[in-house]
Amino acid sequence: MARSALLNVMVQSAIKAGKSLSRDFGEVQNLQVSVKGPGDFVSQADMKAEKLLREELLKVRPTYGFLGEESEEIKGTDGAHRWIVDPLDGTTNFLHGIPQFAVSVALERNGEIVAGVIFNPATDELFTTEKGGGAFMNDRRIRVAARKALSDCVVGCSVPHLGRGNHGKSLVEIRHVMGEVAGMRSFGAAALDLAYVAAGRLDGYWQSGLNAWDIAAGTLLIREAGGFVSDLTGGNDSLTRGDIVAGNEYIKKALLEVVTRPLPSA
């Protein structure tokens, strides 16, 4: 596949950050046995990866803005462009030695995502996309799954956990979807979940309580793979609202209807 110069920069930066995370991931296994645990170590790995990404991306485009999970936003002098970065999506997985985590890098131009990279260094899977150029995994074109009935589908979601609010709302959504699908999966890394929808591994996905860096690259990846993405109102404001539903044309629509279905009164 042909890549633009900017996408090449994004790929190289994500791989470099991924290699740093891979080295630290190897150390996490040893830290599990300590009473203190690896929490502080993982936090440092996260911040180190973001610093690396910030330096690499702003070295090439110093006038661009930069929004990352671990540091204060940088307002670029460019005004039109912004990097949106998650240096370690799936931190809890990483903390527990589960190889389901990723580096996510997106480029926003005038409020629209125009390029994205998601890289899982543990599996060496690299997802890339540019607006109008299709979606790829390790340079092989990917497409969303073609199933049309929810009853045939495996969908991804988020399971509520300690520290995340709206447990009641999430459990209602899960209750509704459980009765409609062939299976549900919660992998613990939103960026990779969206990449899996783009690759047809998951038929659909929904989640609330997200940030722009969790979903920026994944939303474009799905659209360029022939899929559809919206917020939970059916609009196109996922990056601001922090909620998302995705799938092919049929599954996205059906999943949105089920997720937003009111709970029957007792």
Same domain, 109 and 157: no
The per-residue pLDDT for 95 is 84
On whether 88 is known to bind a ligand per the annotation, the reply is: yes
Same domain, 46 and 127: yes
With residue 13 as reference, give the H or E element that holds it: helix 5-31
The per-residue pLDDT for 29 is 61
The per-residue pLDDT for 49 is 94
Residue 264 has pLDDT above 90, yes or no: no
On whether 46 is known to bind a ligand per the annotation, the reply is: no
Same domain, 49 and 163: no
Q: What is the pTM of this model?
A: 0.93
Q: Residue range 108-116: average pLDDT? A: 97
247-263 pLDDT, tens per residue? 999 999 999 999 999 87
Residue 111 has pLDDT above 90, yes or no: yes
Report DSSP state, residue 186: -
The per-residue pLDDT for 35 is 42
Q: Residue range 7-19: average pLDDT? A: 97
C-beta separation of 27 from 41 below 8 A:
yes
Same domain, 196 and 214: yes
Return the number of other C-beta atoms located less than 10 Å from residue 177's C-beta.
20
Q: Residue range 104-131: average pLDDT? A: 97
Same domain, 117 and 164: no
Same domain, 15 and 135: yes
Same domain, 126 and 196: no
Same domain, 112 and 181: no
* Any domain includes 74: yes
Number of domains forming the structure of the chain: 2
On whether 214 is known to bind a ligand per the annotation, the reply is: yes
With residue 129 as reference, give the H or E element that holds it: strand 125-130
On whether 86 is known to bind a ligand per the annotation, the reply is: yes
The per-residue pLDDT for 241 is 94
Q: What share of the chain is helix, strand, coil (3-state, %, to 5)?
A: 40, 20, 40
Q: Which domain holds residue 73?
A: 5-141
Report DSSP state, residue 111: T
Residue 184 has pLDDT above 70, yes or no: yes
Same domain, 45 and 99: yes
Higher-pLDDT residue of 29 and 220 is 220
35-85 pLDDT, tens per residue? 445 556 567 888 999 999 999 999 999 999 999 988 889 999 999 999 999
On whether 89 is known to bind a ligand per the annotation, the reply is: yes
How far is the C-alpha of 120 from the C-alpha of 103, rounded, in Å?
Answer: 7
Last residue of a domain, one of 81, 114, 141: 141
Rounded (10°) CA dihedral 26, 188, 238, 12: 20
Same domain, 166 and 240: yes
* Any domain includes 68: yes
The per-residue pLDDT for 138 is 97
Residue 266 has pLDDT above 60, yes or no: no
Q: In whole numbers, what is the pLDDT of the chain averaged over residues? A: 91
> What's the N-to-C CA distance of the chain in angstroms?
55
The per-residue pLDDT for 133 is 97
153-179 pLDDT, tens per residue? 999 998 877 666 677 778 888 899 999
Same domain, 10 and 126: yes
How far is the C-alpha of 249 from the C-alpha of 100, rounded, in Å?
Answer: 27
For residue 84, what is the domain's CATH number?
A: 3.30.540.10
Name the pLDDT band for 226 (thresholds 50, 70, 90).
Answer: very high
